[in-house]
Amino acid sequence: MPIREHDLREIRDAVAKLCASFPMDYWRETDRERRYPTEFVTALTRAGWLSCLIPEEYGGAGLKLAAAAAILEEIQKSGANGAACHAQMYTMGTVLRHCSEAQKKKYLPKIAKGELRLQAFGVTEPSAGTDTSSIRTTAVKKGDRYVVNGQKVWTSRAEHSDLMLLLVRTAPREQAQKKTDGLSVFIVDMKAALNKGLSIRPIRTMINHATTEVFFENLEIPAENLVGEEGKGFRYVLDGMNAERILIGAECIGDARWFIAKATAYANERKVFGRPIGQNQGVQFPIARAYMATEAAALMVERAAQLYEQGKPCGPESNMAKQLAAEASWQAGDMCLQTHGGFGFAEEYDVERKFRETRLYQIAPISTNLVLCYLAEHVLHLPRSY
């Protein structure tokens, strides 16, 4: 049965209390220095929030996706940035549904305790982009090991993760019946692999997202680290991708609610020409519109999470949840910046940082255009456009 909102209140309150111990000064500093928020991630780990989806028999809380969504929403709503650690939640879709029992026993208890971090998801490549079936990184089996060669890009948190879920091609695309055949997923021990066939290069971006390029040169991975069956990996990562879209949608809802609260407070406090600017309809209406868009998007995120929890197909709902929430957060961010006027560009107000952070989700984890293409083809049954 889906977790209802009233069941999530204690979780939301506890997460909000933890986030309050990391004031906005902390986030300005990490953003300014491009520093990974290790202290924040450690606090979330110790409180058990990052292991919320791990079943109790492996040391986690055994909660549902709706709880994970509430945690991430609350983090964003507090003004923090959950992108530093959200992968440990959405990768669970692949791990819990497709890893072997031996793999779960090996890794999940250590992840739950915080001894290991699973924060890296190696999928995107420079030449493939969102065309996942065109990835070129290969894994060739040699005895009891696979040898990996290739490159990934936009692999966030690779420098701060112990483990990576890696999607590679184990059979040439031209030999596959379907273009998505021949892809396989591996668990990579990044600490053991670093400088032994694996190298990481940070990419400096407009947001503090700890993103990187990752290079593989004859990296050997034990065959026992293969997830599920060889060649079936595309289906496995879809479970992670649907969870990712839902959880990113929840983060966007949190961002939007932060922007709305920030703009509303400022519109009530700021006086120009002897009256609060919030008294003007030109200021009121954009805030009200952003609020409506956010509440509508939140319903789709909730719907997608329910379907995912029930094990039902949720591709359309997951994509719509991500798209609508990302659009709502960007609408709210633009409105908040406009409401603040020149002060919105000042670092001390935090609007410009959150404005940059939430803009990412028009592009990642999938661009808004690809969501529209997916819905047009698979839901509306229009001709394929790409």
Q: Active-site positions?
A: 244
In the DSSP assignment, the letter for residue 231 is: T
Count of C-beta atoms within a 10 Å radius of residue 33: 9
The per-residue DSSP string of 249-302 comes to: HHHHHHHHHHHHHHHHHHHHH-EETTEEGGGSHHHHHHHHHHHHHHHHHHHHHH
Is residue 208 within 8 Å of 266, Cβ to Cβ?
A: no
Residues 6+ away with beta carbon under 8 Å from 37: 22, 26, 27, 30, 80, 81, 84
CA-to-CA dists, residue 260 to 58, 153, 246, 294, 341, angstroms: 39, 33, 21, 9, 15
Residues 6+ away with beta carbon under 8 Å from 277: 266, 267, 270, 271, 283, 339
Amino acid at position 169, single letter: R
Is residue 303 within 8 Å of 318, Cβ to Cβ?
A: no
Query: What percent helix, strand, coil does the chain show, rounded to 5?
Result: 60, 15, 25
| DSSP H or E stretch at residue 218 | strand 212-222
Count of C-beta atoms within a 10 Å radius of residue 218: 10
Amino acid at position 149, single letter: N
Residue count of the chain: 386
Q: How far apart are CA 76 and CA 315, in angstroms?
A: 24
Select from 153, 161, 124 the least CA-distant residue to 213.
153
